[in-house]
Structure formats: structure tokens, C-alpha cells
């Protein structure tokens, strides 16, 4: 069996990663993986069990305790906790505020990288996150980095009914010591401030198809 293809989509918060990753995955028939949801699931678990997200030892101990399973349903990968998918809960303001603290802990990043690499058991992937092209699948040649102006990103979050401090989260994600958010070497950078999701995903798809055609 050929090695599965991994399309890495990284970028800042509210830069359109999820929307575009889903559009690209659907167009190619690949499986979609939202790695931010996996970090959010851990933050949710910590909040629910009274684990201090600012305490790396406590969070690392929680990682040893929780019982998780990776599943693929309808073309999306989910990290279940005790068989439960906290899809709605992980979008709360509390989880959004806590997540970049747990994501900065080195043991958490090692755990997540291993799980995220295990996703190739499900086939070809479109994986979105902050460190996919730099750290999780650095070997892939399909790397995309999305960004948009701070004003545009704030507008998108507000349209979703979500109020959050994007600048704070981006700063924490970019300045952490382990696997910080950065443009992967060789990535195609797309600023989509003035593009629709259809236009952005078309740019990504054209590039992927061109590269795949070169391999044939």
C-alpha cells in the first residue's frame, strides 16, 4: 500500500483553517483532522476534573489517567474520552481561554504528536493545526499556511458569536518554547483577508493537484 498523503494546513486563529481544511478534504476524498480540537479536548478534560491548566505536572498526570480513543466518523477524526466526543463543550469560552496553556506543555505536545501521527491509519489526511508542517508531519511536501488581518479575523469570530482575545492566544501560540506557531519551511503562505473560503480552498487544491500530477 502506498504511504498515505498528508496535507498540512497551519495558521493563526480564525484564519480559516477549519473551513478550508474541510473543503479540501471533501474535494479530495481525504480524511479531515482538526488537531486544535484534540488540544481543546484535553483543556476541557482538565477543567472538568479540576486540574490546574497552569500546572504542567498536574496536566501531565492527567494525560496518563485519561482514557482516549481515536475514531474516524464520516471522514473526520475525533478523540473520544471514555467513549464520549465533547464536540460542543470544547468550543466554550472557558476552553478557548485555557487551551493555549495546556498546548505549551512539552509532555502534552509529545503526546499529541504521537496521536496525530497515528491518524494515518485512517488513510490520506488533511490535517489542520499550528505545527503540522513544522513538527507533526515535517516530511510532507504539501504545506499551507493561512493568515488574515487581525481585523478580519476578529470579524469572523464575532460573526460566529464568539468573543475572545485572539491577539493573546496568537502571542502565546507563537512564543511558546516547544513547536511554536510559525510558517513551515517550503509552505505556501495564503493571506485570505480578501478571499472567500471557496477561493482559498481552490488555491490550495490547484497547488495540490499540480504537485500530484508531477509525481505521475
Interacting residues with ligand DC (CB under 6 A): 13, 35-36, 39-40, 99-100, 103, 129-132, 169, 173
State in angstroms the smallest separation of the CB of 40 from ligand DC. 5
Q: Which residue, 5 or 127, has its beta carbon nearer to ligand DC?
A: 127
Q: Which residue, 99 or 148, has its beta carbon nearer to ligand DC?
A: 99
Q: Which residue, 106 or 206, has its beta carbon nearer to ligand DC?
A: 106
State in angstroms the smallest separation of the CB of 72 from ligand DC. 18
Q: Which residue, 130 or 153, has its beta carbon nearer to ligand DC?
A: 130
State in angstroms the smallest separation of the CB of 208 from ligand DC. 20
66-74 contacts at long range (C-beta below 8 A, 24 or more positions apart) = 66/42, 68/41, 68/115, 70/115, 70/118, 70/119, 70/121, 72/31, 72/122
Q: Is the dihedral of CA 49, 51, 56, 61 positive or negative?
A: negative
State in angstroms the smallest separation of the CB of 215 from ligand DC. 26
DSSP SS3 for 165: coil
56: closest CA among 109, 10, 95, 1? 109
State in angstroms the smallest separation of the CB of 116 from ligand DC. 7
Furthest-apart CA atoms within the chain: distance in Å:
53
- In DSSP terms, 68 is beta-bridged to 81
Q: Which residue, 22 or 40, has its beta carbon nearer to ligand DC?
A: 40
Q: Is the dihedral of CA 139, 120, 187, 205 positive or negative?
A: positive
Amino acid at each position: 500500500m502506498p504511504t498515505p498523503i498528508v496535507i498540512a494546513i497551519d495558521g493563526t486563529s480564525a484564519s480559516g483553517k477549519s473551513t478550508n481544511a474541510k473543503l479540501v478534504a471533501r474535494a479530495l476524498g481525504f480524511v479531515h483532522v482538526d488537531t486544535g480540537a484534540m488540544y481543546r479536548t484535553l483543556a476541557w478534560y482538565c477543567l472538568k476534573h479540576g486540574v490546574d491548566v497552569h500546572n504542567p505536572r498536574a496536566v501531565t498526570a492527567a494525560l496518563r489517567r485519561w482514557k482516549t480513543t481515536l475514531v474516524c466518523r464520516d471522514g473526520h477524526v475525533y478523540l473520544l474520552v471514555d467513549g464520549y466526543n465533547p464536540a460542543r463543550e470544547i468550543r466554550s469560552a472557558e476552553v478557548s481561554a485555557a487551551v493555549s496553556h495546556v498546548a505549551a506543555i512539552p509532555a502534552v505536545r509529545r503526546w499529541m504528536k504521537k496521536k496525530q501521527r497515528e491518524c494515518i491509519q485512517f488513510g490520506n489526511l488533511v490535517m489542520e493545526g499550528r505545527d503540522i508542517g513544522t513538527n507533526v508531519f515535517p516530511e510532507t511536501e504539501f504545506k499551507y499556511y493561512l493568515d488574515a488581518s487581525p481585523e478580519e479575523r476578529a470579524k469572523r469570530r464575532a460573526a460566529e458569536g464568539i468573543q475572545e482575545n485572539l491577539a493573546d492566544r496568537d502571542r502565546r501560540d507563537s512564543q511558546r518554547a516547544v513547536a511554536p506557531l510559525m510558517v513551515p519551511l517550503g509552505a505556501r503562505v495564503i493571506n485570505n483577508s480578501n478571499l472567500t473560503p471557496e477561493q482559498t480552498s481552490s488555491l490550495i487544491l490547484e497547488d495540490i493537484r499540480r504537485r500530484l500530477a508531477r509525481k505521475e
